[in-house]
């Protein structure tokens, strides 16, 4: 964090384990969480740290973004060595867009909530899905507003019960369905209680050159963990049905070629990394748009929470490439690069005279 | 080209280079090109001129009026009543004629049957519909070309040099040589017909002058766009809203022409956002990440942006918002002008907020203040407003040529990797190291383990960590006050003309020409001498206080109902509360000198005759240093 002194060299005793760029797990850590004990969000935070450490991502090249809500507090709890921006309610996608065009080399990790993205920020959510930022967009979805004490959000299932006993009369908004329809190139639904799957998918999302939307069911232990809730830990544990067993092999890992791939599907991302899928509940190809659409439709007809990778388009163009930006981040250009010659102004003035 | 001219009016009754045209057409009928040719033709004759477009919130069909004022003395504010009315729109013709002043010249198509109306006016019926058949063989183009006929008729009647009009046409349609060929014959034919068929009885006459050397004609929005392009703007995000849309559209056009490298890569991004909230949200992200960034909008957009403007103020993020104001409240009159958002920009957002606002008054300032605003945003690490309006943004103004900026852009206090290494990673984002209220910042992506800090709209410490402590909160707010004090030394100073009279007029923005014309009329026709102070920024600088302190009464001229700027002066400089009177104009049209004179005289009756006095207040001496205008 700003102002802290550089840590003293570690004592001679035991060298800490480090990743491929020589950083220890603690170099990816953040401040202590102030969320309720047992909150699903803290499980996700831990997986973000694991994934960044495992991949050897340089924290300084990451920018963390969030809106407002319990979920949006979490960027303070991981990657202290990355700049973070806890912005205003629902507007994170716009802020992420600005940050990305200002510096196209930033890897963005955004954490939002269901109220932040599906209610107040829906207008921005749908539009950022149309801009292929290099952004891992995590929605920590618990169906309620935590910081304002338990009101339903737009992702709450119809018929789900509030703690007070009120029943939600409205159909839910499915963020995965919306993201897919709007052209998002990486769509996954996950459950915060499924550690292994989360780690693999977050790793794949971070390696993905584009916008990855991860809708993670992340139960609120204080306001939405009771009998009758469809976003509680007990409900999700009882009803989660992983679509497939997911593995992720980073581009730099030489062991991939030696592995026995058996019956697995594999998806190669543009950076050369691989996602491997072994079918469990359903066998379908997430790179096939029709198969993914069918999968989303079928998921609506079941009471199960089908988790896994729903859709991947490994070849989508990044937004900053579509804009044709120079390689140097726009933020770092000097007037030497940005000020047209004096003759240009003279010509423009002559034309107006 | 015909060299004949209409017989000039007798010397003693002639009105030379001092009158106004009012061209009434239907929106979308292509009259804009003809009006611009007329305007530029007059401009090329060296006569000071202005063009104001009074258009409806509509794409095609509703009435629209273009007013051209020629004035040998350089008064280019809106004229109160037109001297010459060209009625090309049958829908509005009767009303146009009915509202003409006595003695006005009426030019219209002879089929409109207006000749029985208004015997107190001068009628020049012209067979436009017949003439256009000869002028333009292509049936489809006649609707457009018919407008060029009135240009030719005016050339003959008012002695507007045909060669200047033809060269204005060529310049106006520079990229469309075919269109030049189609339109040229109409100017020549209109002129020829008028010379042969109209007996001139009106007094209006143009003579070449030499007053426009080194001048250009441009809209304020295009001027601001140029200022942005030449001063390192790299990111613009915007949402379409009249009258600001043409600003970011011009910006994108200019950038595509001049900010693309030989390899086709761009040094800019212009993004059309999904709404104004997103437009300013993108600035919060881009400014935070280090880009010099900009949006333009109008009143309704400012209202929507309020929450993120407060975030920018509190989290201290540089970005620039140009408010091209239109008439409000609500949707209001989207195509009319107003200085109605003064409070809305100065105090935008909830809690204690106050923003730096700069007020350009003409295209040259619109150009220069774009760079000033980008620099101020980076220097002060805060949102900066440029407060323009529809009149400046969308109308055609004569202006001095713009000077090429040679100074490096100011990027403010940014610590890069090497700086952090020198500091051994010891720094605090919101610590007031220099005593000016401005901390140092780092940019995301800076490759140093201590570069990162956490940006938030919640309470924070110097180290940017979350804090709800009362002492942390107050200390931070007090530092922001210090920063605002620092701003006073950096913003453009007012333009002050005189400290010698007891009465002053304080104004800002596009009321410039009307106020100066009014001051001249007040002196020449009514014997009232006044000093002038044109505000160019908020916060108010020392010079503004000096002006208020050295005048017994100061009239604040503004284009809104509620005297918003006077309200701000009373709030910020309460000791001058009783000094102020207001001159207010709020019908959606640009201010005229007549309004100022009338309201001044009405309020001035209770004052002793303001004779010239020797002013010797001690602080006036220092203020005299800024006398004169630039």
Contact residues on chain A for B174, CB-CB shorter than 8 A: 351
Interface touch B453/A327, C-beta < 8 Å: no
**pTM (two decimals):** 0.94
User: What is residue A9's predicted lDDT score, i.e. its pLDDT?
Assistant: 53
Number of A–B residue contacts, CB under 8 Å: 259
User: What is residue B621's predicted lDDT score, i.e. its pLDDT?
Assistant: 38
User: What is residue A265's predicted lDDT score, i.e. its pLDDT?
Assistant: 92
Probe site for chain A from B452, B458, B463, B468 (most A CB atoms < 10 A): B452
What Å distances lie between residue B274 and B246, B324, B353, CA to CA?
17, 19, 26
- Where chain B has pLDDT below 70, the residues are 1-6, 606-630
Write the pLDDT tens digit of every residue in B140-169: 999 999 999 999 999 999 999 999 999 999
User: How close A348 comes to chain B (CA, Å)?
Assistant: 9
Contact in structure between B31 and B72 (CB atoms under 8 Å): no
CATH superfamily of B218-400: Thiamin diphosphate (ThDP)-binding fold, Pyr/PP domains (3.40.50.970)
Q: Does A322 touch chain B (CB under 8 A)?
A: no
Interface touch B453/A1, C-beta < 8 Å: yes
Q: Does A349 touch chain B (CB under 8 A)?
A: yes
| B window 238-277, beta carbon within 8 A of A | 258-261, 264-269, 271, 273-275, 277
Task: Name, in order, each residue with C-beta under 8 angstroms of B414's C-beta and a sequence gap of 6 or more.
Answer: B290, B440, B441, B442, B443
User: What is residue B279's predicted lDDT score, i.e. its pLDDT?
Assistant: 98
Contact residues on chain B for A337, CB-CB shorter than 8 A: 267
Q: For domain B495-626, give the fold.
A: Rossmann fold (3.40.50)
Domains of chain A by range and CATH?
Answer: 25-328 (3.40.50.970)
Q: Indicate the residue of A6, A94, A339 with minimum beta-carbon distance to B424.
A: A6
What residues does each domain of chain B span? 11-211, 218-400, 417-490, 495-626
User: What is residue B60's predicted lDDT score, i.e. its pLDDT?
Assistant: 81
Q: Does A93 touch chain B (CB under 8 A)?
A: yes
Contact residues on chain A for B283, CB-CB shorter than 8 A: 98
pLDDT tens, chain A, 353 aa long: 444 444 555 555 677 899 999 999 999 999 999 999 999 999 999 999 999 999 999 999 999 999 999 999 999 999 999 999 999 999 999 999 999 999 999 999 999 999 999 999 999 999 999 999 999 999 999 999 999 999 999 999 999 999 889 999 999 999 999 999 999 999 999 999 999 999 999 999 999 999 999 999 999 999 999 999 999 999 999 999 999 999 999 998 877 666 666 678 999 999 999 999 999 988 999 999 999 999 999 998 888 999 999 999 999 999 999 999 999 999 999 999 999 999 999 999 999 99
Same CATH topology for B11-211 and B495-626? no
User: What is residue B627's predicted lDDT score, i.e. its pLDDT?
Assistant: 38
| A window 27-66, beta carbon within 8 A of B | 27, 31, 58-61, 63, 65
Rg (CA), chain B: 27
* Calpha distance A173→A113 (Å, rounded): 13
Contact residues on chain B for A99, CB-CB shorter than 8 A: 285-286, 288-289, 444
Asked if omega into A319 is within 30° of 0 (cis), the reply is: no
Interface touch A97/B278, C-beta < 8 Å: yes
Q: Does A342 touch chain B (CB under 8 A)?
A: yes
User: What is residue B607's predicted lDDT score, i.e. its pLDDT?
Assistant: 64
User: What is residue B548's predicted lDDT score, i.e. its pLDDT?
Assistant: 97
Interface touch B232/A339, C-beta < 8 Å: yes
Q: Does B405 touch chain A (CB under 8 A)?
A: yes
Contact residues on chain A for B49, CB-CB shorter than 8 A: none
Q: For domain B11-211, give the fold.
A: Pyruvate-ferredoxin Oxidoreductase; domain 3 (3.40.920)
Task: Name, in order, each residue with C-beta under 8 angstroms of A297's C-beta and a sequence gap of 6 or more.
Answer: none
* Calpha distance B170→B150 (Å, rounded): 17
CA angle B591, B59, B134 (to 5 degrees): 100
Q: What is the largest CA-CA distance in chain A?
A: 78
Contact residues on chain A for B404, CB-CB shorter than 8 A: 342, 345-346
Pairing of strands B293-297, B503-508: unpaired
Q: Which residue of A has its CA nearest to B279?
A: A94
User: What is residue B624's predicted lDDT score, i.e. its pLDDT?
Assistant: 41
Q: Does A326 touch chain B (CB under 8 A)?
A: yes
DSSP, res B454: E
Tokens of B471: 């002492």
* Calpha distance B527→B521 (Å, rounded): 9
Q: Which residue of A has its CA nearest to B459?
A: A86
* Calpha distance B482→B431 (Å, rounded): 12
Which of A119, A176, A189, A174 is closest to A151 using CA atoms? Answer: A119
User: What is residue B27's predicted lDDT score, i.e. its pLDDT?
Assistant: 84
What Å distances lie between residue B439 and A168, B316, B442, CA to CA?
48, 9, 10
Q: Does A353 touch chain B (CB under 8 A)?
A: yes
* Calpha distance A86→A84 (Å, rounded): 7
Q: Does B131 touch chain A (CB under 8 A)?
A: no
């Amino acid at each position: 964090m700003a102002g802290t002194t550089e840590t003293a060299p570690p004592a001679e005793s035991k060298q800490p384990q480090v990743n491929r760029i020589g950083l220890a797990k603690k170099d990816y850590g953040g401040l202590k969480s102030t969320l309720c004990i047992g909150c699903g969000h803290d499980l996700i935070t831990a997986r973000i740290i694991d994934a960044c450490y495992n991949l050897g991502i340089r924290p300084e090249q990451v920018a963390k973004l969030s809106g407002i809500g319990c979920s949006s507090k979490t960027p303070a709890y991981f990657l202290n060595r990355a700049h973070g921006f806890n912005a205003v309610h629902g507007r994170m996608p716009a802020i992420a867009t600005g940050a990305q065009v200002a510096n196209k080399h930033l890897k963005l990790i955004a954490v939002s909530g269901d109220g932040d993205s599906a209610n107040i920020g829906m207008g921005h959510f749908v539009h950022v899905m149309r801009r292929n930022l290099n952004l891992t967009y995590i929605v920590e979805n618990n169906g309620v507003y935590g910081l304002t004490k338990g009101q339903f959000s737009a992702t709450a299932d119809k018929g789900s019960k509030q703690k007070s006993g009120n029943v939600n009369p409205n159909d839910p908004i499915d963020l995965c369905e919306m993201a897919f329809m709007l052209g998002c190139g990486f769509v996954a639904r996950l459950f915060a209680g499924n550690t292994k799957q989360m780690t693999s998918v977050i790793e794949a999302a971070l390696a993905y050159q584009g916008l990855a939307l991860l809708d993670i069911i992340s139960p609120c232990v204080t306001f939405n963990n009771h009998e009758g809730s469809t976003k509680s830990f007990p409900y999700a544990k009882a009803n989660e049905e992983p679509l497939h067993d997911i593995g992720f092999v980073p581009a730099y890992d030489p062991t991939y070629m030696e592995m026995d791939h058996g019956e697995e599907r594999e998806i190669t991302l543009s950076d050369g990394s691989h996602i491997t899928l072994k079918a469990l509940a359903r066998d379908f190809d997430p790179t096939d748009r029709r198969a993914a659409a069918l999968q989303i439709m079928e998921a609506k007809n079941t009471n199960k929470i089908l988790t896994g990778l729903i859709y991947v388009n490994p070849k989508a163009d990044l937004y900053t490439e579509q804009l044709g930006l120079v390689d140097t981040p726009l933020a770092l250009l000097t007037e030497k690069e940005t000020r047209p010659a004096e003759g240009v102004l003279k010509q423009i003035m002559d034309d107006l005279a | 080209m015909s060299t004949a001219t209409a017989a000039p009016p007798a010397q003693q009754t002639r009105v030379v280079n001092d009158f106004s045209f009012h061209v009434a057409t239907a929106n979308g009928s292509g009259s804009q090109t003809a009006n611009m040719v007329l305007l530029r033709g007059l401009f090329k004759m060296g006569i000071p001129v202005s063009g104001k477009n009074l258009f409806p919130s509509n794409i095609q069909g509703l009435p629209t009026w273009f007013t051209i004022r020629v004035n040998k003395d350089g008064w280019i504010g809106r004229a109160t009543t037109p001297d010459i009315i060209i009625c090309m729109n049958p829908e509005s013709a009767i009303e146009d004629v009915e509202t003409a002043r006595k003695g006005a010249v009426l030019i219209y198509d002879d089929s409109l049957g207006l000749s029985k109306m208004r015997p107190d006016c001068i009628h020049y019926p012209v067979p436009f519909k017949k003439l256009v058949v000869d002028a333009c063989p292509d049936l489809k183009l006649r609707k457009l070309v018919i407008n060029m006929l009135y240009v030719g008729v005016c050339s003959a009647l008012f002695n507007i040099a045909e060669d200047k009009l033809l060269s204005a046409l060529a310049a106006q349609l520079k990229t469309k040589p075919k269109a030049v060929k189609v339109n040229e014959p109409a100017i020549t034919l209109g002129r020829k017909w008028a010379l042969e068929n109209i007996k001139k009885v009106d007094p209006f006459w143009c003579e070449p002058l030499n007053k426009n050397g080194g001048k250009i004609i441009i809209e304020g929005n295009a001027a601001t766009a140029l200022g942005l392009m030449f001063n390192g703007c790299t990111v613009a995000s915007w949402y379409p809203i009249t009258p600001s849309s043409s600003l970011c559209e011009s910006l994108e056009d200019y950038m595509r022409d001049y900010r693309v490298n030989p390899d086709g890569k761009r040094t800019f991004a212009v993004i059309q956002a999904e709404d104004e909230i997103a437009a300013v949200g993108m600035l919060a992200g881009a400014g935070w990440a280090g880009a010099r960034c900009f949006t333009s909008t109008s009143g309704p957009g400012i209202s929507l942006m309020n929450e993120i403007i407060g975030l920018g103020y509190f989290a201290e993020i540089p970005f620039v918002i140009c408010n091209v104001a239109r008439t409000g409240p609500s949707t209001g009159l989207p195509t009319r002008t107003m200085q109605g958002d003064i409070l809305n920009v100065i105090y935008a957002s909830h809690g204690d907020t106050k923003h730096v606002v700069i007020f350009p008054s003409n295209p040259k300032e619109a150009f220069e203040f774009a760079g000033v605003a980008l620099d101020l945003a980076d220097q002060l690490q805060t949102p900066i407003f440029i407060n323009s309006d529809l009149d400046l943004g969308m109308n055609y103004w004569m202006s001095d040529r713009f000077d090429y900026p040679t100074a490096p852009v100011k990027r403010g206090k940014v610590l890069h990797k090497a700086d952090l290494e020198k500091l051994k990673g010891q720094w605090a984002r919101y610590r007031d190291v220099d005593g000016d209220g401005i901390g140092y910042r780092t940019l995301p992506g800076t490759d140093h383990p201590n570069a990162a800090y956490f940006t938030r709209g919640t309470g924070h410490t110097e180290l940017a960590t979350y804090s709800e402590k009362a002492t942390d909160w107050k200390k931070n707010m007090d530092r922001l006050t210090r920063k605002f004090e620092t701003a006073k030394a950096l913003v453009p100073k007012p333009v002050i003309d005189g400290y010698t009279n007891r009465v002053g007029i304080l104004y800002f923005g596009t009321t410039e020409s009307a106020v100066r014309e009014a001051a001249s009329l007040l002196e020449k026709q009514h014997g009232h001498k006044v000093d002038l102070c044109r505000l160019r920024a908020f916060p108010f600088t020392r010079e503004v206080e000096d002006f208020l302190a050295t005048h017994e009464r100061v009239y604040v001229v503004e284009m809104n109902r509620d005297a918003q700027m006077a309200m701000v002066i009373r709030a910020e400089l309460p000791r001058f509360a009783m000094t102020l009177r207001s001159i207010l104009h709020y019908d959606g049209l640009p201010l005229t000198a007549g309004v100022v004179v009338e309201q001044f005289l009405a309020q001035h009756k209770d004052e002793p005759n303001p004779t010239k006095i020797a002013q010797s207040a001690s602080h006036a001496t220092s203020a005299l240093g800024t006398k004169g205008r630039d």
